[in-house]
């Protein structure tokens, strides 16, 4: 039995030393130390050894088991070291690295920054306001009382007021950044020049030129002696900077309850250069900036005296500005997650 054990040890150790990889080493371990491994079985047979020798043989077997296990552990370490060294010697430090991909600003954000920059040069400050808004600031203060037909044009998302002490319909997602007129004017004395870039929401059918969520930059200016020509001058200056000095602009009258008179600003369609195409509905012009002189009722509601001060307001449809600048014919491209689209800007 003693010879048999020593023999097993010698074979095991030589196999271990010969192993070239971890897989072979694992096989050797199973062959000797596994459940039906040679050493395991030999140890089970110790019971058959005459009682007077059993203790010595038992100690020898335990010693051999320890030697084999240690040999395996050492070999694992040698193999691991060998692999890392081999790998290291294969790294070619002269190969240029792979640069991580770096993103860039979304076209909408790029133009938004441009818009804010242009307005800053003529003294406008940017303000931010809540997207969850009250009926009061979104409509009432803007001379759009309950049941006013102008509310029909602003398909409104109403928020649930069930578990609150608010009346149903009182809290909404703002439909227009004009909602900030009341908030700012109530707290600020004229003169003031403010722009409000922000998101608005309307329950609209989504198509190539409408989204249920859209960006506007609202702007307003109040001071003594502000006239319609100040509005025209401001809009012409801003659009010239944003779309190029040669861009043709025209104004037409329109109606919004919070302005009197109301005007619509059109720029020559950049897609067809005024010839008429599907983007401009064959008119050659694109509506880009509704505006007007702030209605005396709005001025009164925020505590101003319409005899003392006057003002103008306007809104830039941001997505329109983006599609016109980049000659895109579908607004939905701006929110499409396919990077091949965004990478073009
Ligand atoms: N808030 C209006 C809308 O989203 C647009 C608008 C019209 C804003 C005239 C103005 C304005 O400031 O003067 O439909």
The verdict on the CB of residue 292 being under 6 Å from ligand 1 is yes
List the one residue out of 13, 6, 10 whose CA is nearest residue 29: 13
The domain spans of the chain are 2-89, 107-342
pLDDT in tens, the chain (345 residues): 888 888 888 888 888 888 888 888 889 889 998 998 988 988 888 888 888 888 888 898 899 899 889 988 888 888 888 777 777 778 888 888 888 888 899 999 999 999 999 999 999 999 999 999 999 999 999 999 999 999 988 999 999 999 899 999 999 999 999 999 999 999 999 999 999 999 999 999 988 878 899 999 999 999 999 999 999 999 999 999 999 998 999 999 999 999 999 999 999 988 888 898 877 889 999 899 999 999 999 999 999 999 999 999 999 999 888 888 888 878 889 888 898 998 888
DSSP alpha helix (H) spans, 100-244:
107-121, 135-138, 179-187, 228-243
The verdict on the CB of residue 214 being under 6 Å from ligand 1 is no
Q: What pLDDT score was predicted for residue 218?
A: 98
The verdict on the CB of residue 221 being under 6 Å from ligand 1 is no
Q: What does the alpha-carbon distance between residue 222 and residue 200 come to, in Å, rounded to a whole number?
A: 24
Ligand 1 nearest-atom number relative to CA 178: 1
CA of 147: how far to CAs of 7, 140, 282, 330, 336, in Å?
103, 11, 35, 34, 37
Ligand 1 nearest-atom number relative to CA 153: 14
Q: What does the alpha-carbon distance between residue 147 and residue 143 come to, in Å, rounded to a whole number?
A: 12
Q: What pLDDT score was predicted for residue 327?
A: 83
Q: What does the alpha-carbon distance between residue 277 and residue 223 come to, in Å, rounded to a whole number?
A: 41
Do you find a cis peptide bond into 286, omega within 30 degrees of 0? no
Q: What pLDDT score was predicted for residue 70?
A: 92
The residue contributing the CA closest to ligand 1 atom 4 is: 176
CATH code for the part of the protein at 107-342: 3.30.930.10
Q: What pLDDT score was predicted for residue 2?
A: 81
């Amino acid at each position: 039995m003693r010879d048999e054990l020593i023999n097993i040890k010698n074979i095991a150790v030589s196999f271990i030393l010969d192993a070239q990889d971890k897989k072979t080493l694992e096989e050797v371990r199973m062959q000797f130390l596994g459940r039906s491994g040679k050493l395991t079985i030999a140890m089970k047979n110790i019971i058959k050894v005459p009682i007077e020798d059993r203790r010595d043989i038992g100690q020898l077997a335990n010693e051999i088991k320890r030697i084999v296990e240690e040999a395996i552990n050492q070999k694992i370490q040698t193999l691991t070291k060998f692999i890392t060294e081999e790998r290291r010697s294969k790294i070619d430090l002269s190969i240029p690295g792979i640069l991580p991909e770096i993103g860039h600003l979304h076209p909408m954000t790029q133009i938004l920054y441009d818009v804010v920059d242009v307005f800053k040069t003529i003294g406008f400050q940017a303000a931010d306001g809540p997207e969850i808004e009250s009926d009061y600031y979104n409509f009432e203060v803007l001379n759009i009382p309950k049941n006013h037909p102008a509310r029909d044009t602003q398909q409104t998302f109403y928020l649930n007021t069930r578990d609150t002490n608010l009346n149903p319909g009182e809290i909404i997602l703002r439909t227009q950044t004009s909602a900030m007129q009341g908030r700012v004017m109530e707290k600020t004395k004229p003169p003031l020049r403010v722009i409000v870039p922000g998101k608005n929401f309307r329950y609209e059918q989504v198509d190539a030129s409408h989204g249920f969520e859209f960006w506007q930059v609202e702007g307003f200016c109040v001071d003594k002696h502000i006239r319609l020509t100040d509005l025209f001058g401001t809009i012409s200056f801003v659009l010239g900077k944003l779309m190029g000095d040669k861009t043709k602009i025209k104004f037409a009258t329109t109606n919004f309850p919070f302005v009197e008179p109301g005007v619509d600003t059109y720029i020559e369609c950049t897609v067809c250069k005024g010839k008429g195409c599907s983007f401009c509905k064959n008119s050659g012009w694109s509506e880009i900036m509704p505006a007007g002189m702030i209605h005396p009722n709005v001025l009164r509601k925020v505590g101003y005296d319409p005899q003392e001060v006057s003002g103008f307001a306007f809104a830039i449809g941001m997505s329109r500005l983006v599609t016109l600048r980049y000659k895109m014919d579908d607004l939905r491209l701006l929110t499409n997650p396919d990077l091949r689209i965004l990478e073009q800007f």
